[in-house]
Amino acid sequence: METLENTEELLKVFEAKIDAEIKIEPRDWMPGDYRKHLIRQISQHAHSEVIGMQPEGNWISRAPSLRSKKILLAKIQDEGGHGLYLYSAAETLGVSRDEYIQWLHAGKAKYASVFNYPALNWADIGAIGWLVDGAAITNQVSLQRTSYGPYSRAMIRICKEESFHQRQGYEIMWKMMEGTKDQQRMAQDAINRWWWPALMMFGPHDSDSPRTSNAMKWKIKRETNDRLREKFINKTIPQAELIGLKVPDPNIKVIGKDQMGENIYEHSDINWDEFWSVVNGNGPCNEQRLNHHIRAHEEGAWVRECAQAYNAKTNQ
Ligand code: 3HC
């Protein structure tokens, strides 16, 4: 039975571990709010990985070559695996996968708003890999140092695959920019539509982020939303310029150099009305993405039942 005295003792031990960079493991005592924060963030991260398979999945049958089809298939399969790593990490917090999925289907859990935009043509597959996975990598490399052990280990595994995702997207954009005028126009149109939703992946400004102070206090996040967004912008603008793409922001300008000698850019602010509108369910594809997930989950029930029956039999 936990008493007030020993709760204070337990909190001191927890905080000492956080300070000493010792990972918090599932069987360790942790404050209820720390557990709740992780349940929310890790499950939403897992939902994002799985829902993120939809915009790209629509293009497997329309990939322009066997090589690009194989690459896209491998990437999408990776994303499904990332979702499974993250649901497994989330389950160590005492909530079942079924419950997480129910919360998602009931609209009680979020996933990255970027996936509520449509992938209109093959250039979008390039922009998604290059920009969306590029933003995800920036965030996830930092999350490898998160204080919760299972989440950190999942991030380390996932980051190993993410750089291939970003690379294959950039290669698609590069090839299109070396192609016909129409292909160049398609590539520019894709960055025009995906640049801002990719920046939104880092969340609201630190000053408007209700979760960031606890996340930083408990070392769940190791860098803030704005810091990570700036890192992504500073890294990605030179990549766009290298292949002749123009970032859709008239206010981009170099305002200095970082300690590595890389450019630091000033840029316009995000359209936060659009951000919250899409986060709150009013994006172009919110309904379609959720209905697809619900339908796939229902149609796949028999696979889960067979796997569970087999598991029960072999573990008798
Ligand atoms: N889309 C949807 N919701 C968002 C969002 C976005 N881009 N950015 C923020 N939100 C939500 C948050 O979930 C939070 O709502 P909640 O309290 O109901 O959960 C609210 O807006 C306030 O935002 P905060 O910044 O205060 O919340 P967080 O501290 O949780 O920061 C986050 C948001 C940066 C997304 C953080 O949760 C995080 O780093 N999550 C892990 C990374 C992740 O989930 N990435 C999603 C993409 S995964 C992916 O891209 C797969 C790749 O392979 C393509």
- Nearest residue (by CA) to ligand 1, atom 8, is 203
Question: Which amino acid, 239?
Answer: Q
| Residue 307 CA to ligand 1 centre (angstroms) | 32
**Residue 120, SS3 per DSSP:** coil
Confidence of residue 315 (pLDDT cuts 50, 70, 90): confident
User: β-pairing, 253-257 with 263-266?
Assistant: antiparallel
Predicted confidence (pLDDT) per residue in 61-75, tens digit: 999 999 999 999 999
| Residue 313 CA to ligand 1 centre (angstroms) | 39
Of ligand 1's listed atoms, the one at least distance from the Cα of 221 is 39
CATH superfamily assigned to domain 20-248+275-314:
Ferritin, core subunit, four-helix bundle (1.20.1260.10)
- The pLDDT value recorded for residue 268 is 98
Predicted confidence (pLDDT) per residue in 15-50, tens digit: 999 999 999 999 999 999 999 999 999 999 999 999
**Residue 34, SS3 per DSSP:** helix
Ligand 1: residues with CB < 6 A are 40-41, 44-45, 48-49, 52, 79, 82, 110, 112-113, 132-133, 136, 139, 200-204, 209-212, 215, 225, 279
- Nearest residue (by CA) to ligand 1, atom 12, is 203
Return the ∠ at Cα 63 (arms to 58 and 69), rounded to 5°.
100
**Residue 22, SS3 per DSSP:** coil
C-alpha distances (whole Å) from 49 to each of 110, 214, 296 are 12, 24, 15
Predicted confidence (pLDDT) per residue in 91-111, tens digit: 999 999 999 999 999 999 999
- The pLDDT value recorded for residue 4 is 66
Strand spans (E) along the chain: 253-257, 263-266
Helix (H) or strand (E) holding 135: helix 133-143
| Residue 203 CA to ligand 1 centre (angstroms) | 6
DSSP secondary structure string for all residues of 240-308:
HHHTT---S-TT-EEEEE-TTS-EEEE-PPP-HHHHHHIIIIISTTHHHHHHHHHHHHHHTHHHHHHHH
Which tokens hold the place of 165? 């995702």
- Nearest residue (by CA) to ligand 1, atom 41, is 45
CA 121 to chain centre: 22
Nearest to 146 by CA among 263, 284, 42: 42
| Residue 214 CA to ligand 1 centre (angstroms) | 14
| Residue 201 CA to ligand 1 centre (angstroms) | 7
CA atoms of 187 and 173, how far apart (whole Å): 6
CA atoms of 116 and 279, how far apart (whole Å): 9
Neighbours of 175 (CB within 10 A): 15
Mutate to test the pocket of ligand 1, among 41, 49, 163 (most ligand atoms within 8 A of CB): 41
CA 263 to chain centre: 25
pTM of the model: 0.96
| Residue 111 CA to ligand 1 centre (angstroms) | 7
- Nearest residue (by CA) to ligand 1, atom 29, is 211
- Nearest residue (by CA) to ligand 1, atom 6, is 112
- The pLDDT value recorded for residue 316 is 80
CA atoms of 274 and 116, how far apart (whole Å): 12
Nearest to 24 by CA among 34, 39, 37, 33: 34
Mean pLDDT for the chain?
A: 96
Asked if residues 166 and 78 have their Cβ atoms less than 8 Å apart, the reply is no
Predicted confidence (pLDDT) per residue in 121-152, tens digit: 999 999 999 999 999 999 999 999 999 999 99
Q: Is the pLDDT of residue 1 over 80?
A: no
* Torsion region of 181: left, alpha or beta (phi above 0 gives left; psi -120 to 50 gives alpha): alpha
Confidence of residue 265 (pLDDT cuts 50, 70, 90): very high
- Nearest residue (by CA) to ligand 1, atom 44, is 45
Nearest to 232 by CA among 141, 97, 102, 125: 141
